[in-house]
A and B are shown apart, each in its own frame.
Chain A
Amino acid sequence: DAGITQSPRHKVTETGTPVTLRCHQTENHRYMYWYRQDPGHGLRLIHYSYGVKDTDKGEVSDGYSVSRSKTEDFLLTLESATSSQTSVYFCAISGSYNEQFFGPGTRLTVL
């Protein structure tokens, strides 16, 4: 998995609770991404980062925030989880102008 880990791998939480997902890379790549994958929608970009403390929104960023305080870690936070955020979340990394490498995914269920 190109030196990418995600934690936790599975999480069940209740509506209204905060949730933080972690992506960790050992490749020293500049770019990191968070996607969600839902049936019928494919992979949709939530947020991405182009360097430490540099982030930008993707197409489905509402309800999510991110932080990147170190090159190797990219955190995705759901401030107040909703049932519509039940999904599989993938982190990806890339070098400049290169293909993305994906992590193993986190399955999140919001009850």
Chain B
Amino acid sequence: GESVGLHLPTLSVQEGDNSIINCAYSNSASDYFIWYKQESGKGPQFIIDIRSNMDKRQGQRVTVLLNKTVKHLSLQIAATQPGDSAVYFCAESRASGGSYIPTFGRGTSLIVHP
């Protein structure tokens, strides 16, 4: 079946650097994309989302970029901090009966060195 994947399983950065986590999706019918952060021992936490009618969306220190032509999604974290160390998941989904049923990638581990 179609699935979401991540280019890099582990990303190591220095504190203060900008981080970019990439994700490829394969279902061209997907119209809603989400990034989650999961810290050790906790449930995934919503970071930011984007719908297919947008190319870019910004939050606090985070930006999501969507390239529908090549089915690519990225999460940019500005001025990365040690507290950003976690596993980051992208998820793709499309509307079904009033809800979105997402398909998750396996995750990228972000390690921030002080």
Q: Is the pair A105, B43 in contact by a Cβ cutoff of 8 Å?
A: yes
Q: Which of A9-28 contact B (CB under 8 A)?
A: none
A64 on the B face (CB < 8 A): no
- Does B42 lie at the interface of the complex (its beta carbon under 8 Å from any beta carbon of A)? yes
Is A100 touching B46 in the complex (CB atoms < 8 A)? yes
Given contacts A31-B99, A50-B97, A94-B99, contact A40 B106 (CB under 8 A): yes
Q: Which residues of B contact A48 (CB under 8 A)?
A: 99, 101
> What's the interface size class on B, roughly?
20 to 34
**Do A105 and B100 touch across chains, with their CB atoms under 8 A apart?**
no
Which chain A residues border B107 with CB–CB below 8 Å?
Answer: 42
Q: Is the beta-carbon distance between A1 and B104 smaller than 8 angstroms? A: no
User: Quick check: A99 and B97 within 8 Å, CB to CB?
Assistant: no
Of B32, B49, B105, B106, most buried by chain A (CB within 10 Å of CB) is B106
Q: Could you tell me the distance between the alpha carbons of A76 and B107 in the complex, rounded to whole angstroms? A: 25
Q: Contact at A90–B99, with CB atoms within 8 Å?
A: no
* Cβ-closest 5 pairs across A and B: A102-B43, A42-B106, A43-B104, A42-B104, A99-B46
Q: Which residues of A contact B (CB under 8 A)?
A: 1, 30-31, 40-45, 48, 50, 58-59, 90, 92, 94, 96-105
17 A–B contacts from the bound complex (CB under 8 Å): A31-B98, A42-B106, A42-B107, A58-B101, A59-B1, A94-B99, A94-B100, A97-B32, A97-B100, A99-B34, A101-B46, A102-B36, A102-B44, A102-B45, A105-B41, A105-B42, A105-B43
